[in-house]
Amino acid sequence: MNSEGARLHSLVDLDDAELERQLLKAGNLYPTQSRSGRELFDANGNLPLSAEEKDEMIAAVEQKFSEIFDVMRIDRNDPNSTDTPFRLARMWINELFAGRYSAAPKITVFPNRRQVGEIVISKGIKVMSVCSHHWQPISGTCAIGYIPRDKVIGLSKFTRIVEWFSRRGQIQEELGEQIADFLVEILDPVAVGVVIDSKHYCMIARGVEAHDSSSMVTSVMRGELATNPALRTEFLQLIAQQ
Ligand SMILES: [Zn+2]
């Protein structure tokens, strides 16, 4: 094993607390470029790839999944497992992590001609994501409210924005922040709020205390929703109504 390999192997042996301590002390402990010299980025980051680059990535991931099957002693002569490495690779790149590799959705912004100054809300937006810690599904809904300043967007666009940020390795807190930041950037609204309520399958599938009714709620408030408690209460009441 070369020294780089030995170093990475020793990192794997550290417990979480020690790894965090080392990380704070030393900065990046892991490479920031892939072996083929490509930029590595956060699980919930974004770097659009061409169709050819995605196909190349799927082929490489399929190869690695076949190796995992070998390590886990899964016989691919079992017809249910024969093509699973390919299905897994395609699913991770084209679906579960699609938002990492695709360009931002094109959002048309319209002038706020009627000078709407009330909170506009869209709720029940589907969230289908993956937790970065365990690569297990996160499934739930998102409510978004905003008070326009000079610009408005069609409410259906929220669905595409949530989808784009969800289809990555995420932690729910950062997912809400990313959606709010994006809306602030394209709309410059007076206020924006993003509330996500979801189930984490790493909680449901693991551990003795796990049960499928546990859910996680996070909220991000920007602008007047962050500073005006009465407005925040109104928003939270409106999204709680059926
Ligand atoms: Zn998790």
Which residue is associated with the tokens 């925040």? 232
How far does residue 133's CA lie from ligand 1's centre (Å)? 5
Q: How far is the CA of 40 from the centre of ligand 1 (A)?
A: 21
Measured in Å, residue 11 CA sits from the centre of ligand 1 at 21
Fold agreement between 3-101 and 110-240: no
Give the largest Cα separation in the chain, rounded: 68
This prediction's pTM: 0.89
Assess whether pLDDT exceeds 70 at residue 54. Answer: yes
d(CA 161, CA 179): 7
* pLDDT tens-place string over residues 215-227: 899 999 999 999 9
Check residue 29 and give its pLDDT.
76
pLDDT higher than threshold 50 for residue 1: no
C-alpha count within 13 angstroms, C-beta hemisphere, residue 218? 16
Q: What is the mean pLDDT of the chain?
A: 92
pLDDT-derived band at 9, boundaries 50, 70, 90 = low
**Domain boundaries 110-240, corresponding CATH code:** 3.30.1130.10
d(CA 158, CA 115): 20
Ligand 1 centroid to 170 CA: how many Å? 9
Tell how far the Cα of 102 is from the centroid of ligand 1, in angstroms.
24
SS3 80: coil
**166 C-alpha vs ligand 1 centroid, how far in Å?**
14
**Chain segment 35-53, per-residue pLDDT in tens:** 889 999 999 999 999 999 9
Of residues 136, 124, 210, the one with CA closest to residue 171: 136
Q: Do 172 and 211 form a contact (C-beta atoms < 8 A)? A: no
- In tens, the pLDDT along 125-137 reads 999 999 999 999 9
- What Å distances lie between residue 188 and 45, 148, 224, CA to CA? 22, 8, 12
Q: Assess contact for 216 and 178: CB atoms under 8 A.
A: no
Domain limits of the chain? 3-101, 110-240
Whole-number Å distance, alpha carbon 82 to ligand 1 midpoint, is 28
What values do phi and psi take at 37, rounded to 5?
85, 15
pLDDT grade for 206, boundaries at 50, 70 and 90: confident
- Cα atoms in the 13 Å half-sphere on the side-chain side of 75: 3
Q: Specify burial of residue 18 (Cβ count, 10 A radius: 0-12, 13-18, 19+).
A: exposed
Residue 200 CA to ligand 1 center (angstroms) comes to 7
Cα 112 to averaged position of ligand 1 atoms, centre (Å): 40
pLDDT in tens, 103-121: 999 999 999 998 989 999 9
Q: Which fold has domain 3-101?
A: GTP Cyclohydrolase I; Chain A, domain 1 (1.10.286)
> pLDDT-based confidence at 210, cuts 50/70/90?
low
Å from CA of 132 to ligand 1 middle: 6
What would the pLDDT profile of 156-203 be if each residue is shown by its tens digit? Answer: 899 999 999 999 999 999 999 999 999 999 999 999 999 999 999 998
pLDDT bin (cut points 50, 70, 90) of residue 7 is: low
